[in-house]
Amino acid sequence: MSEIEILAFAKINLYLEVLKKRDDGYHEVETIFQSINLSDTLHFVSIRERKKIVVFCNHPDLPLGRKNLVYQAAQLVFEKFNLPGGVKIEIKKKIPVGGGLGGGSTDAAATLIGLTSLYELDLSEIELWSLAQKLGCDVPFFLKGGTALGKGRGDKIASLAPLPETIFLLVLPGFSVSTTWAYQQLNAVRNRNLSTAEQPISNGVKNYLTKKTKSVKIIQESIERRDCKNLGHHLYNRLEKSVFKKYPELQTIKEDLLKAGASGALMSGSGSTIFGIFPEEKLARGAAFQMKRKGYKVLVTQNCQRGWELKNSNIKNQNHL
Protein backbone atom coordinates (compact mmCIF):
# COMPACT_ATOMS: atom_id res chain seq x y z
CA MET A 1 0.00 0.00 0.00
CA SER A 2 1.26 3.46 -0.91
CA GLU A 3 0.19 6.56 0.95
CA ILE A 4 1.01 10.22 1.19
CA GLU A 5 -0.12 13.13 3.38
CA ILE A 6 -0.13 16.77 2.26
CA LEU A 7 -0.90 20.07 3.96
CA ALA A 8 -3.02 22.39 1.79
CA PHE A 9 -2.66 26.04 2.80
CA ALA A 10 -5.37 28.72 2.76
CA LYS A 11 -5.12 32.16 1.13
CA ILE A 12 -6.31 35.68 1.66
CA ASN A 13 -6.75 38.40 -0.97
CA LEU A 14 -4.77 41.56 -0.27
CA TYR A 15 -6.42 43.20 -3.26
CA LEU A 16 -9.41 42.28 -5.42
CA GLU A 17 -10.71 44.34 -8.31
CA VAL A 18 -13.47 43.08 -10.62
CA LEU A 19 -12.96 44.62 -14.05
CA LYS A 20 -15.74 43.25 -16.22
CA LYS A 21 -17.89 40.24 -17.01
CA ARG A 22 -16.46 37.99 -19.69
CA ASP A 23 -18.18 36.28 -22.60
CA ASP A 24 -17.68 32.92 -20.87
CA GLY A 25 -19.75 34.05 -17.87
CA TYR A 26 -16.79 34.54 -15.54
CA HIS A 27 -15.49 37.90 -14.35
CA GLU A 28 -12.18 39.47 -15.30
CA VAL A 29 -10.34 40.17 -12.07
CA GLU A 30 -7.09 41.58 -10.78
CA THR A 31 -6.09 40.22 -7.40
CA ILE A 32 -3.15 39.63 -5.12
CA PHE A 33 -3.15 36.27 -3.37
CA GLN A 34 -1.26 35.55 -0.18
CA SER A 35 -0.83 32.08 1.35
CA ILE A 36 -1.24 31.85 5.12
CA ASN A 37 -0.33 29.26 7.75
CA LEU A 38 -3.79 27.75 8.01
CA SER A 39 -4.13 24.37 6.36
CA ASP A 40 -6.24 21.34 5.68
CA THR A 41 -4.58 17.92 5.80
CA LEU A 42 -5.21 15.43 2.99
CA HIS A 43 -4.27 11.77 3.36
CA PHE A 44 -4.09 9.66 0.17
CA VAL A 45 -3.99 5.87 0.12
CA SER A 46 -3.78 3.81 -3.07
CA ILE A 47 -6.27 0.96 -3.40
CA ARG A 48 -6.64 -1.95 -5.83
CA GLU A 49 -10.12 -1.12 -7.17
CA ARG A 50 -9.70 0.42 -10.60
CA LYS A 51 -10.66 4.13 -10.78
CA LYS A 52 -12.47 3.92 -7.44
CA ILE A 53 -12.39 7.26 -5.64
CA VAL A 54 -13.48 7.42 -2.01
CA VAL A 55 -13.47 10.73 -0.14
CA PHE A 56 -13.87 11.12 3.63
CA CYS A 57 -14.05 14.40 5.54
CA ASN A 58 -14.44 15.49 9.17
CA HIS A 59 -16.67 18.42 8.12
CA PRO A 60 -20.34 17.33 8.06
CA ASP A 61 -21.48 19.95 5.54
CA LEU A 62 -18.94 19.13 2.85
CA PRO A 63 -20.24 17.00 -0.08
CA LEU A 64 -18.17 13.87 -0.57
CA GLY A 65 -19.25 12.75 -4.05
CA ARG A 66 -18.92 14.28 -7.50
CA LYS A 67 -19.75 17.78 -6.20
CA ASN A 68 -16.57 17.78 -4.12
CA LEU A 69 -13.58 19.49 -5.80
CA VAL A 70 -11.20 16.90 -4.37
CA TYR A 71 -13.25 14.13 -6.00
CA GLN A 72 -13.30 16.07 -9.28
CA ALA A 73 -9.53 16.61 -9.16
CA ALA A 74 -8.93 12.91 -8.57
CA GLN A 75 -11.31 11.99 -11.38
CA LEU A 76 -9.44 14.26 -13.81
CA VAL A 77 -6.12 12.57 -13.01
CA PHE A 78 -7.52 9.03 -13.26
CA GLU A 79 -9.18 9.77 -16.59
CA LYS A 80 -6.10 11.48 -18.06
CA PHE A 81 -3.70 8.68 -17.15
CA ASN A 82 -6.08 5.70 -17.14
CA LEU A 83 -4.58 4.66 -13.81
CA PRO A 84 -4.85 0.97 -12.89
CA GLY A 85 -5.85 1.48 -9.27
CA GLY A 86 -7.95 3.80 -7.14
CA VAL A 87 -7.56 6.05 -4.12
CA LYS A 88 -9.01 6.79 -0.71
CA ILE A 89 -8.71 10.43 0.34
CA GLU A 90 -9.31 11.67 3.88
CA ILE A 91 -9.73 15.44 4.31
CA LYS A 92 -9.15 16.93 7.74
CA LYS A 93 -10.64 20.41 7.48
CA LYS A 94 -9.31 23.38 9.41
CA ILE A 95 -9.97 25.99 6.74
CA PRO A 96 -13.55 27.31 7.14
CA VAL A 97 -15.98 26.33 4.40
CA GLY A 98 -17.39 29.32 2.51
CA GLY A 99 -15.09 31.82 4.21
CA GLY A 100 -13.28 33.25 1.18
CA LEU A 101 -10.06 31.47 2.14
CA GLY A 102 -9.89 29.05 -0.79
CA GLY A 103 -10.36 25.85 1.18
CA GLY A 104 -11.95 23.87 -1.65
CA SER A 105 -9.47 25.13 -4.23
CA THR A 106 -6.36 24.44 -2.17
CA ASP A 107 -7.61 20.92 -1.42
CA ALA A 108 -8.14 20.36 -5.15
CA ALA A 109 -4.61 21.56 -5.95
CA ALA A 110 -3.20 19.33 -3.21
CA THR A 111 -5.07 16.39 -4.73
CA LEU A 112 -3.39 16.97 -8.09
CA ILE A 113 0.00 17.11 -6.35
CA GLY A 114 -0.81 14.13 -4.12
CA LEU A 115 -1.91 11.80 -6.91
CA THR A 116 1.02 12.85 -9.10
CA SER A 117 3.34 11.76 -6.27
CA LEU A 118 1.33 8.73 -5.18
CA TYR A 119 1.30 7.22 -8.68
CA GLU A 120 4.69 8.68 -9.65
CA LEU A 121 3.22 10.31 -12.75
CA ASP A 122 5.26 12.08 -15.38
CA LEU A 123 3.15 15.23 -15.32
CA SER A 124 4.67 18.47 -16.58
CA GLU A 125 4.03 21.80 -14.90
CA ILE A 126 1.98 22.92 -17.91
CA GLU A 127 -0.19 19.77 -17.77
CA LEU A 128 -0.68 20.20 -14.03
CA TRP A 129 -1.63 23.85 -14.58
CA SER A 130 -4.13 22.86 -17.29
CA LEU A 131 -5.86 20.39 -14.96
CA ALA A 132 -6.00 23.01 -12.20
CA GLN A 133 -7.67 25.54 -14.53
CA LYS A 134 -10.44 23.05 -15.27
CA LEU A 135 -11.24 22.77 -11.55
CA GLY A 136 -11.59 26.44 -10.60
CA CYS A 137 -10.34 29.97 -11.13
CA ASP A 138 -7.97 30.10 -8.17
CA VAL A 139 -6.87 26.43 -8.10
CA PRO A 140 -3.74 27.20 -10.21
CA PHE A 141 -2.50 29.65 -7.55
CA PHE A 142 -2.36 26.91 -4.92
CA LEU A 143 0.03 24.79 -6.99
CA LYS A 144 2.75 27.24 -5.90
CA GLY A 145 1.20 29.59 -3.36
CA GLY A 146 3.15 32.39 -1.71
CA THR A 147 2.54 35.96 -2.86
CA ALA A 148 1.19 36.27 -6.37
CA LEU A 149 -0.71 38.49 -8.80
CA GLY A 150 -3.75 36.88 -10.39
CA LYS A 151 -5.36 38.11 -13.61
CA GLY A 152 -7.88 36.81 -16.14
CA ARG A 153 -10.36 34.74 -14.17
CA GLY A 154 -7.74 34.72 -11.42
CA ASP A 155 -6.00 31.77 -13.07
CA LYS A 156 -3.19 33.69 -14.77
CA ILE A 157 -0.62 33.77 -12.00
CA ALA A 158 2.61 35.73 -11.67
CA SER A 159 4.71 35.28 -8.53
CA LEU A 160 5.63 38.45 -6.63
CA ALA A 161 8.36 39.30 -4.17
CA PRO A 162 7.59 37.46 -0.91
CA LEU A 163 5.73 39.38 1.73
CA PRO A 164 7.87 39.85 4.86
CA GLU A 165 6.75 37.99 7.96
CA THR A 166 3.35 39.48 8.69
CA ILE A 167 0.83 38.80 11.46
CA PHE A 168 -2.80 38.33 10.44
CA LEU A 169 -5.85 38.02 12.64
CA LEU A 170 -8.72 36.17 10.98
CA VAL A 171 -12.23 36.72 12.30
CA LEU A 172 -14.80 34.10 11.32
CA PRO A 173 -18.37 35.35 11.77
CA GLY A 174 -20.00 31.92 11.74
CA PHE A 175 -21.77 32.11 8.39
CA SER A 176 -20.72 31.86 4.75
CA VAL A 177 -21.28 34.16 1.78
CA SER A 178 -22.10 32.72 -1.65
CA THR A 179 -19.44 33.63 -4.20
CA THR A 180 -22.00 33.42 -7.00
CA TRP A 181 -24.33 35.79 -5.17
CA ALA A 182 -21.53 38.29 -4.44
CA TYR A 183 -20.58 38.56 -8.10
CA GLN A 184 -24.23 38.75 -9.16
CA GLN A 185 -24.53 41.96 -7.15
CA LEU A 186 -21.92 43.56 -9.41
CA ASN A 187 -23.92 42.54 -12.45
CA ALA A 188 -26.96 44.19 -10.87
CA VAL A 189 -24.95 47.40 -10.40
CA ARG A 190 -24.00 47.35 -14.07
CA ASN A 191 -27.60 46.89 -15.15
CA ARG A 192 -28.82 49.75 -12.96
CA ASN A 193 -26.12 52.12 -14.19
CA LEU A 194 -26.46 51.30 -17.86
CA SER A 195 -28.34 54.19 -19.51
CA THR A 196 -29.87 54.31 -22.99
CA ALA A 197 -26.97 56.41 -24.20
CA GLU A 198 -24.46 54.06 -22.64
CA GLN A 199 -24.98 50.74 -24.39
CA PRO A 200 -22.68 47.72 -24.04
CA ILE A 201 -19.71 47.54 -26.34
CA SER A 202 -19.77 45.18 -29.31
CA ASN A 203 -18.50 42.07 -27.52
CA GLY A 204 -21.47 42.20 -25.15
CA VAL A 205 -19.37 43.18 -22.15
CA LYS A 206 -19.01 46.64 -20.64
CA ASN A 207 -16.22 47.62 -18.31
CA TYR A 208 -18.73 48.95 -15.81
CA LEU A 209 -16.42 49.23 -12.81
CA THR A 210 -13.75 51.62 -14.05
CA LYS A 211 -13.51 53.90 -11.04
CA LYS A 212 -10.78 52.64 -8.70
CA THR A 213 -10.19 53.95 -5.23
CA LYS A 214 -7.06 51.80 -4.85
CA SER A 215 -4.36 50.52 -7.16
CA VAL A 216 -2.80 47.08 -7.37
CA LYS A 217 0.54 48.77 -8.11
CA ILE A 218 0.52 50.41 -4.68
CA ILE A 219 0.08 47.00 -3.07
CA GLN A 220 2.91 45.54 -5.15
CA GLU A 221 5.21 48.44 -4.31
CA SER A 222 4.43 48.09 -0.60
CA ILE A 223 5.31 44.39 -0.76
CA GLU A 224 8.56 45.09 -2.63
CA ARG A 225 9.50 47.75 -0.04
CA ARG A 226 8.49 45.36 2.76
CA ASP A 227 6.24 48.12 4.05
CA CYS A 228 3.39 46.29 5.78
CA LYS A 229 2.00 49.49 7.28
CA ASN A 230 1.49 51.06 3.86
CA LEU A 231 0.18 47.75 2.58
CA GLY A 232 -2.46 47.77 5.30
CA HIS A 233 -3.58 51.26 4.35
CA HIS A 234 -4.20 50.25 0.72
CA LEU A 235 -5.98 46.90 1.06
CA TYR A 236 -8.96 46.79 -1.30
CA ASN A 237 -11.82 44.45 -2.22
CA ARG A 238 -14.42 45.47 -4.80
CA LEU A 239 -16.93 42.98 -3.39
CA GLU A 240 -17.02 44.51 0.09
CA LYS A 241 -19.59 47.22 -0.61
CA SER A 242 -22.38 44.91 -1.78
CA VAL A 243 -21.57 42.16 0.71
CA PHE A 244 -21.46 44.61 3.63
CA LYS A 245 -24.83 45.98 2.55
CA LYS A 246 -26.44 42.60 3.11
CA TYR A 247 -24.18 41.59 6.02
CA PRO A 248 -23.46 44.82 7.99
CA GLU A 249 -21.97 42.70 10.77
CA LEU A 250 -18.92 42.16 8.56
CA GLN A 251 -18.32 45.90 8.26
CA THR A 252 -18.55 46.20 12.05
CA ILE A 253 -15.91 43.47 12.43
CA LYS A 254 -13.63 45.34 10.04
CA GLU A 255 -14.07 48.57 11.95
CA ASP A 256 -13.42 46.79 15.26
CA LEU A 257 -10.12 45.39 13.96
CA LEU A 258 -8.98 48.85 12.89
CA LYS A 259 -9.91 50.27 16.30
CA ALA A 260 -7.94 47.44 17.93
CA GLY A 261 -4.74 48.51 16.20
CA ALA A 262 -4.75 46.78 12.81
CA SER A 263 -2.85 48.75 10.16
CA GLY A 264 -5.45 47.51 7.68
CA ALA A 265 -8.44 45.16 7.52
CA LEU A 266 -10.29 43.55 4.63
CA MET A 267 -12.81 40.91 3.63
CA SER A 268 -11.06 38.01 1.92
CA GLY A 269 -12.48 37.02 -1.47
CA SER A 270 -16.26 37.04 -1.41
CA GLY A 271 -16.27 36.62 2.38
CA SER A 272 -17.17 35.97 5.04
CA THR A 273 -13.75 36.02 6.72
CA ILE A 274 -12.44 39.44 7.73
CA PHE A 275 -8.70 39.73 8.37
CA GLY A 276 -6.55 42.40 9.95
CA ILE A 277 -2.83 43.09 9.54
CA PHE A 278 -1.06 43.74 12.84
CA PRO A 279 2.44 45.10 13.48
CA GLU A 280 3.10 42.58 16.24
CA GLU A 281 1.66 39.33 17.54
CA LYS A 282 0.93 40.72 21.02
CA LEU A 283 -1.37 43.38 19.57
CA ALA A 284 -3.07 40.79 17.36
CA ARG A 285 -3.73 38.50 20.31
CA GLY A 286 -5.20 41.38 22.26
CA ALA A 287 -7.58 42.08 19.39
CA ALA A 288 -8.33 38.35 19.14
CA PHE A 289 -9.34 38.32 22.81
CA GLN A 290 -11.74 41.21 22.20
CA MET A 291 -13.33 39.52 19.19
CA LYS A 292 -13.67 36.21 21.03
CA ARG A 293 -15.55 38.00 23.80
CA LYS A 294 -18.00 39.13 21.13
CA GLY A 295 -18.62 35.51 20.20
CA TYR A 296 -16.46 35.18 17.10
CA LYS A 297 -14.06 32.41 16.22
CA VAL A 298 -10.62 33.89 15.64
CA LEU A 299 -7.23 32.75 14.44
CA VAL A 300 -3.87 34.50 14.70
CA THR A 301 -1.65 33.36 11.84
CA GLN A 302 1.00 34.64 9.46
CA ASN A 303 1.92 34.51 5.80
CA CYS A 304 3.76 31.60 4.21
CA GLN A 305 5.40 31.10 0.83
CA ARG A 306 3.91 27.80 -0.29
CA GLY A 307 0.55 26.47 -1.41
CA TRP A 308 1.13 22.96 -0.10
CA GLU A 309 3.64 20.91 1.87
CA LEU A 310 4.43 17.20 1.93
CA LYS A 311 3.84 16.07 5.50
CA ASN A 312 4.85 12.43 5.16
CA SER A 313 5.02 9.75 2.52
CA ASN A 314 5.16 5.98 2.18
CA ILE A 315 5.18 5.42 -1.57
CA LYS A 316 6.02 1.93 -2.78
CA ASN A 317 6.09 0.67 -6.34
CA GLN A 318 3.45 -2.02 -6.68
CA ASN A 319 3.24 -3.82 -10.02
CA HIS A 320 -0.22 -5.21 -9.25
CA LEU A 321 -1.73 -1.72 -9.06
What DSSP string runs through 284-295?
HHHHHHHHHHTT
Q: 131 near 73, Cβ under 8 Å?
A: yes
Helix ranges, 194-309 (H): 216-224, 228-233, 240-246, 248-259, 281-293
Which residue type is seen at 1?
M
Residues 6+ apart with CB under 8 A from 317: 120
120 residue type, one letter? E
Where do the H-state alpha helices sit in the chain? 69-81, 103-118, 125-135, 139-142, 179-193, 216-224, 228-233, 240-246, 248-259, 281-293
- State the catalytic residue, choosing from 11, 21, 93, 144: 11
Partners of residue 236 on adjacent β-strands: 15
Q: Whole-angstrom Cα distance, residue 104 to residue 68? A: 8
The rounded distance, in Å, linking the Cα atoms of 118 and 130 is: 19
Within 10 A of 50 (CB to CB), how many other CB atoms are there?
12
- The question of whether 61 is a catalytic residue gets the answer no
Task: Give the SS3 label for residue 82.
Answer: coil
| Residue 34, CA distances (Å) to 88, 201, 229, 235, 297 in order | 30, 34, 16, 12, 21
Question: Considering 40, 107, 138, 155, which one is annotated as catalytic?
Answer: 138
Q: Among this protein's residues, is 11 annotated catalytic?
A: yes
Contacts of 40 by beta carbon, 8 Å cutoff, 6+ apart: 7, 8, 10, 91, 92, 93, 94, 95, 103, 106, 107, 110
By annotation, the residues acting in catalysis are 11, 138
